[in-house]
Every structure is written in structure tokens, then in C-alpha cells.
Amino acid sequence: MQIGRFHEELQGFSTADSLLGVTELLRLHASELGFEWFVYALELQEGAPSLRLALANGYPEAWIEHYFREGLLGQDPVMTYCREHIVPTEWSSLGPAALESRVMREAEDFGLSEGLSAPLHGPRGDLGVLSFATGAELHSARKRTRRALPYVHLLAGYVHEALRRVLVTEGARMSRPLSPRERECLLWVAEGKTSWEIGVILAMSERTVNFHLHNASAKLGVSNRQHAVAKAMLLGLLRSPPCQI
């Protein structure tokens, strides 16, 4: 790929007006760089340390479900690298211990045998990670990652900015703002509290807590409470930490 042409194609991210639009642009770039799979994930430093959102997901759904269900975030050598560095890396360059880890072995079972990841550190300590992956045999896969390495960090910056702009725009389009109770419940979810625990803290029933969380998710256009918290934080709707009781 010619760098001049690459810069021209990046301009599409400046005009993308939806999460789906950004995801589809990223899918095109992944294909052009020779990768079947991609994801842009965000790890939030506010609230629960395990809160992570796959914003633009082009990974196998079965792998995403397995990753979160098995709690693999804390064992992921790619995420460990990205928290501590600012330059992209090929997965095969992470060393023998990383390659033999449970996460990498199981990722290969889902068709993610080799890839590269670019970290992007936000002003509030948030960590964005753009990853491309392939299930090709190792020699071919490494040729692809080395060819893509000069482009992926620049691409990550454009994706990060496009997603933040799109999310802010979507927030401005919210027909109904979050209520104070919905914000309170989301703040406690961000602290890792269950619905029952939130009910005790706020002196309401577990059913009422779930009602508020369901309404908040619907207003934010997401399907679950973790995504609701992440999106609300990105939109600046959850800036005040809850009072400890």
C-alpha cells in the first residue's frame, strides 16, 4: 500500500457519522491489509478495572464471548504490553511466555493465530487498542503483520478520534437524558457493584435497580449495563464518583 493513498483513504474516518460506519471503514482497511479479523477495544480506568468495551468489533463473536466469560483480560499478554508501551507490536514479538499463554493458545483455536496491536493512551488514562488478526499459517501471517506495521498506529489514531466524535454526536442526539437515579445506578455498576448491592446502598429494591439500568441502556442505545457504563463515561455523563457508604 502506498502511504499517500493510505492517507487519502483515512479521510473517510473524518466524515463517518455512526459507529457502524466507522466499523465498516475499519473492515475495509483490515481486508486491504490482509487481515480477516479486527477490533478496536477501549479499557476504561474509571470505575471497575475490568470494564472494557469492544467498540468496533470485527472479531469472531464466539471469541469475544469466550474472552469475557472466562475473564481473560487480566491474563492477556497483548493488553499487558499495550498498557506499558506506546508503539505497535506484532504478537509473535511478545516472547515465548506470551505466545505460550492461555490467551494466545485459545485465540488460535478461534482463528486468531497471529496479529498486531497498536495502543493509544487517552488523556484520562483510558487505553484504546486497535488489533488486526489472521488465521493464516505463520510465515504468511508474519509477512502481513510486518507489511501493516507502518500503518496501524496512524490508523489507530484516526479510529480513536472518529469513535469519540461519533459517540459525542450520538450523545447529543439522545432524546431523553439520563435521570439522576439512572446515573447513580450506572456509577455503582462502574464500581463493580451488583444490582442487589446497589439496592442496599440506594435503599431501593433490586428490581427497581434493574429497571433504572434497563432504561439507561435503552437511552444509550446499548444492550447491557457494562456497555451502558462505558458509553456514558465516554460521553462524559458519569464524571462524579459515587459517595462511599
Q: Assess contact for 179 and 212: CB atoms under 8 A.
A: yes
Q: Assess contact for 182 and 30: CB atoms under 8 A.
A: no
Q: Which CATH number fits domain 176-234: 3.30.70.360, 3.30.70.1140, 1.10.10.10, 3.30.70.20?
A: 1.10.10.10
Q: Does domain 3-171 have CATH number 3.30.450.80?
A: yes
Cell of residue 135, nine digits: 488465521
Query: Each residue of 85-108: pLDDT tens digit?
Result: 999 999 999 999 999 999 999 999
Sheet strands side by side (includes 89-90): 52-58, 37-43, 127-134, 114-121, 89-90
Query: Each residue of 154-207: pLDDT tens digit?
Result: 899 899 888 878 877 766 667 788 999 999 999 898 777 889 999 999 999 999
pLDDT confidence tier of residue 209, bands split at 50, 70 and 90: very high
Within 8 A by CB and 6+ apart from 143, the residues are: none
Which sign does the torsion angle of CA 93, 95, 98, 100 carry?
A: positive
Instruction: List, by residue range, all CATH 1.10.10.10 domains of the chain.
Output: 176-234
Within 8 A by CB and 6+ apart from 156, the residues are: 40, 88, 118, 119, 120, 128, 129, 130
**Which pLDDT belongs to residue 48?**
47
What whole-number distance in Å separates Cα of residue 64 and Cα of residue 57? 9
Cell of residue 149, nine digits: 506495521
Instruction: List, by residue range, all CATH 3.30.450.80 domains of the chain.
Output: 3-171
